[in-house]
A and B are shown apart, each in its own frame.
Chain A
Amino acid sequence: MPQKKNNPLPEYVQKKVKIEDAVGLALAHDITEIRPGEFKGPSFRKGHKIERKDLCRLMRLGKRHLYILKLDKWQVHEDKAVLELAVALAGPGVTFGRQPREGKITLKAAYSGLFKVNVDPLINFNLIPEVMCASIHNNTPVTKGQTLAGTRAIPLVIHRNILDKAVDIARIHYPVFSVKVLSHAKARLIITGNEVYDGLIEDKFEDIVTKKLEAYGASLVETVILPDDESMIADKVKVFLNEGADLIITTGGMSVDPDDVTRLGIKKVGVDRIYYSAAVLPGAMFQLAYKGDVPIVGIPACALYHETTIFDLILPRLLAGEKPDNKDLARFAHGGLCLDCPTCHFPACSFGKTG
């Protein structure tokens, strides 16, 4: 078995040779060059195939002998192996640099969007000995250039069969990692509540919803304030649907009090699918409905008080063109509890990280 990286290499993998005999052979280690005040770094990298023209430079660096790799056709150097792993793992929207660093390749977002992980194949990939890949959570909104995952072959030299097995898992389940583009949706908002409609209190929802939409490149194109009237709410939703809304958002009226009729108004539209309640705190009394391709989101009043709610978890999914259902809303349970920290660090916290 190949040895771990930090241990001395076994003799069958590396061999000491005279510099003049090293032409055509691959270096087993980096060769560092130091030019005082000018340059310090590897002048020859591990795996570099020695050419005749390199000999003078190597001699100037004080080298008379080199450790060279002697790999048979079944042995793959870690730098070559990790490139194969990265190519197989990186789906659309996932990019990586051309050179491994310390045997590792970091996968990054090629554009902003929603990071998707094919979780079970990723676990199976990691069950293959001598390869690894670790990522951030599935369904995380990411920005261009953000680090998504890191992968490496663990030993310096990996057996071709093991490498192929890992690559096959990633290829069969392509894409293990991808970034979905978020649409620049034009949303329409219905703010419900007699107290707002009658002017007794000032609406705060429009600002909140606008900021959250704009953070993902979507926009709010129309807002109306309606009383707690089932028919008026249903009629306005129909108008918005006819006007070609990409996304309809309602706020308030999601609870079970007699005046909380927004969810009933949405139901009255004759939607295709409707899901009420989510395994998220705050945001349990959340409603998600679909009429054709248009999602109709019912945000409960808790979003006025809490900075981060179910809406923050579901919005990027909708903008990525997904149609979450009751199973998705239930899946939030594991990780769906906001700790209500004095300073909100979302998304850098456990909230909504369902794995």
Chain B
Amino acid sequence: MQDFETLLKGSAKDHGHLCPGQVVGVRMAMLGCELIGLDDPQNLPQIKKIIVYVEIDRCATDAISYVTGVKLGRRSLKFVDNGIMAATFVNLETNRAFRILSTEESRELAIKYGPTTKDKHIQQLEAYKIMPLEELFMVEEVKVEIPIYEMPGPTRFKAVCQQCKVLVRDKKEVYKNGQILCRPCAFGTYHQAIEKSKKVV
């Protein structure tokens, strides 16, 4: 694995800017990989051994993805919408997993470790670079049971929605009122139709 500064530089470029979240994300990912015994997760064969669950969709998530190489499209990055700055790193081979939580105390400790400045952003950014891991994070070893249909690899499960006939992959269908349905048909959509008859394409 590359050194911290190199990874941070790459991550910031990939994300679009350098921010405290990038620092936290890079350090979290480096620690996570170390804990599950992977030193080259972006390349074969380790690329197939890692899955990361992120619990927030903010800056740090991009840094985690950059360092570990996990991607939504590869099914190695899982998003659990908890709004918590935490991620769980899973080694699929050994089944060991560690959840790393960014501590709230670290925000206050930025004064201790960061430069004296009124700019909180800079203070946090610099502080998180050198803050001891035990103050920056809370780590626990956990067990993650990954359902078979959430694993990377070819689609093994397919169902057809009995209402709209759309193909639903990976066992995301539900059984409602005696019908196998896609989630939009069962629970409603996040979008609203504007003009039903008019097709854009």
**Residue of A91, A98, A116, A320 touching B147 (CB-CB under 8 A):** A98
> A87 and B175 in contact (CB under 8 A), knowing A41-B94, A97-B146?
no
Query: CA of A139 to CA of B173 in the docked complex: distance in angstroms?
Result: 20
B175, A181: Cβ atoms closer than 8 Å? yes
**Residue of A91, A96, A175 touching B148 (CB-CB under 8 A):** A96
Contacts of B145 in A (CB 8 A): 97
11 additional A-B pairs beyond A41-B94, A92-B175, beta carbons within 8 Å, are A87-B148, A91-B175, A95-B149, A97-B147, A98-B151, A99-B95, A110-B147, A113-B175, A175-B175, A179-B175, A322-B178
Does A278 interact with chain B (Cβ within 8 Å)?
no
B177, A321: Cβ atoms closer than 8 Å? yes
**Residue of B148, B151, B175 touching A178 (CB-CB under 8 A):** B175
**Residue of A92, A97, A99, A321 touching B173 (CB-CB under 8 A):** A92
A110, B171: Cβ atoms closer than 8 Å? yes
Does B176 interact with chain A (Cβ within 8 Å)?
yes
Contacts of B156 in A (CB 8 A): 87
Query: CA of A113 to CA of B187 in the docked complex: distance in angstroms?
Result: 14
Contacts of A97 in B (CB 8 A): 145-148
Which residues 168-201 in B have Cβ within 8 Å of A in the complex? 171, 173-178, 180, 186
Does A303 interact with chain B (Cβ within 8 Å)?
no
Query: CA of A90 to CA of B147 in the docked complex: distance in angstroms?
Result: 12
Residue-wise interface mask of B (145-159) relative to A, using a CB-CB cutoff of 8 A (1 in contact, 0 not): 111110100001101
In the complex, which residue of chain A has the Cβ closest to the Cβ of B180?
Answer: A92
Does A353 interact with chain B (Cβ within 8 Å)?
no
**Residue of A98, A179, A181, A320 touching B186 (CB-CB under 8 A):** A181
Does A324 interact with chain B (Cβ within 8 Å)?
no
A92, B178: Cβ atoms closer than 8 Å? no
Interface size on A, residues (CB 8 A): 27
Query: CA of A235 to CA of B156 in the docked complex: distance in angstroms?
Result: 54
> A181 and B146 in contact (CB under 8 A), knowing A95-B171, A110-B171?
no
Which residues 125-167 in B have Cβ within 8 Å of A in the complex? 145-149, 151, 156-157, 159
Does A83 interact with chain B (Cβ within 8 Å)?
yes
In the complex, which residue of chain B has the Cβ closest to the Cβ of A180?
Answer: B175
Query: CA of A178 to CA of B157 in the docked complex: distance in angstroms?
Result: 15
Query: CA of A320 to CA of B174 in the docked complex: distance in angstroms?
Result: 12
Which residues 272-320 in A have Cβ within 8 Å of B in the complex? 320
Contacts of A91 in B (CB 8 A): 175
Does A197 interact with chain B (Cβ within 8 Å)?
no
Does A93 interact with chain B (Cβ within 8 Å)?
yes
Contacts of A320 in B (CB 8 A): 177
Residue from B94, B147, B148 having most chain A Cβ neighbours under 10 A: B148
**Residue of A39, A116, A321 touching B176 (CB-CB under 8 A):** A321
A181, B174: Cβ atoms closer than 8 Å? yes
> A96 and B147 in contact (CB under 8 A), knowing A87-B156, A181-B186?
yes
Q: How far is the CB of A91 from chain B (nearest CB, A)?
A: 7
Does A240 interact with chain B (Cβ within 8 Å)?
no
Residue-wise interface mask of B (47-68) relative to A, using a CB-CB cutoff of 8 A (1 in contact, 0 not): 0000000000000000000000
Contacts of B95 in A (CB 8 A): 41, 99
Contacts of A86 in B (CB 8 A): 148
Contacts of A178 in B (CB 8 A): 175
B171, A98: Cβ atoms closer than 8 Å? no
Contacts of B173 in A (CB 8 A): 92
> A93 and B147 in contact (CB under 8 A), knowing A41-B94, A87-B156?
no
Contacts of A110 in B (CB 8 A): 147, 171
In the complex, which residue of chain A has the Cβ closest to the Cβ of B177?
Answer: A321
Does A111 interact with chain B (Cβ within 8 Å)?
yes
B148, A98: Cβ atoms closer than 8 Å? yes
Residue from B159, B176, B178 having most chain A Cβ neighbours under 10 A: B176
**Residue of B94, B148, B176 touching A181 (CB-CB under 8 A):** B176
Query: CA of A113 to CA of B176 in the docked complex: distance in angstroms?
Result: 9
Residue from A87, A96, A99, A181 having most chain B Cβ neighbours under 10 A: A181
Query: CA of A278 to CA of B178 in the docked complex: distance in angstroms?
Result: 24
In the complex, which residue of chain A has the Cβ closest to the Cβ of B144?
Answer: A97
B175, A98: Cβ atoms closer than 8 Å? no
Query: CA of A87 to CA of B94 in the docked complex: distance in angstroms?
Result: 24
Contacts of B147 in A (CB 8 A): 95-98, 110
A93, B174: Cβ atoms closer than 8 Å? yes
